[in-house]
Amino acid sequence: MKSDEGQKNLASSGLGWILGAPLFLILFLPGFALVLSAGLSKVWAAFLDPAFLEAAFLSVTSSTMAMVLILLSGTPLAWWLARSSSRTSRWIELILDLPIILPPAVVGIGLLQAFGRSGIMGELLAAVGLNLPFSFMAVVLAQVVIAAPFFLRSATVAFRNADRDLEDVAKTLGHSPVQIFFSVVLPLCRRGLLAGALLAWARALGEFGATLLFAGNMPGVTQTLPLAIFSTLERDVHLAIAMSLLLLALALLLLALMRRFEKDPAGGNR
């Protein structure tokens, strides 16, 4: 009997692989083609190219700043979303998820209409001497808007799955809500928070559309690595391929780290 069940499971898993193979190939072949197209010498040349170094530094700097801003503001927001049962919180959660669905170009235009000179916040920003569009801070802001929902979703799930019995025990011991949050909740949810932070960082690092429309493509000022690849493609396709391969390698590293932390979203010990 067990043998028959095992054969059925094996057959069903094999059928699933056969039916899913076309999608796997579609997802796998672009990255595989990059590996085949870029030789080691070309990758090394791309790594030493001033355009790559400048864009890579700007990308890492801006995406790191975006991630820090997301962590500082997104962590308490995710905590509130996880613990609130009001209809308002559900609508707010829906609005926060919109950048995942919207095309980045739409987000970029929205940022211009919100923070541009003629936008709804334009006069207020001008009054304090700020001009966000086509600046380094515009890059950071675009990355925050695009990447924040990914952290919020992961963090909210982690907070919802946290063991509340331990919080109740801490309350009985006289700990304040702030003490419980930092000494009990955050350690319990650390894996989910780290996974969300890495996912947000990876998304910010690869952001293109919203950055192009809101911040522009100015070398040394707003040209991130994806924008540098886009510009380099017009003059040297091999260099663009090599740059893409380096970005692919970084994305794989971040994805591997994220998968490690996602094994236990709440971060509890089992």
Radius of gyration for the alpha carbons in the chain, expressed in angstroms and rounded: 22
- Residue with more model confidence, 260 or 144: 144
Confidence at 9, pLDDT banded by 50, 70, 90: low
pLDDT at 265: 44
- Read off the pLDDT of residues 46-90 as tens digits, 9 standing for 90 and up: 777 788 889 989 999 999 999 999 999 999 999 999 988 888 989
pLDDT at 154: 92
Mean pLDDT of the chain: 85
The yes-or-no verdict on residue 156 having pLDDT over 70 is yes
- Read off the pLDDT of residues 29-41 as tens digits, 9 standing for 90 and up: 888 888 787 767 7
Cβ contacts of 217 within 8 Å, gap of 6 or more: 223, 227, 230, 231
Q: Are 239 and 42 in contact (CB under 8 A)?
A: yes
Asked which of 23-27, 62-66, 255-259 is least confident by mean pLDDT, the reply is 255-259
pLDDT at 176: 81
pLDDT at 12: 59
What is the DSSP track for 117-152?
Answer: TTSTTHHHHHHTT---TTSHHHHHHHHHHHHHHHHH
Q: Which residue ranges make up each domain of the chain?
A: 1-37, 40-262
pLDDT at 6: 53
Q: Which residues of 241-256 are buried (b: 16+ CB within 10 A; e: fewer)?
A: bbbbbbbbebeeebee
The yes-or-no verdict on residue 184 having pLDDT over 90 is no
- Residue with more model confidence, 16 or 264: 16
In the CATH scheme, what is the homologous superfamily, with its name and number, of domain 40-262? MetI-like (1.10.3720.10)
pLDDT at 178: 83
Report the percentage of the chain scoring pLDDT > 70: 90
Mean pLDDT calculated for residue range 262-269: 48
Q: How many residues does the chain have?
A: 270
- Read off the pLDDT of residues 231-244 as tens digits, 9 standing for 90 and up: 888 887 878 888 88
Mean pLDDT calculated for residue range 195-201: 91
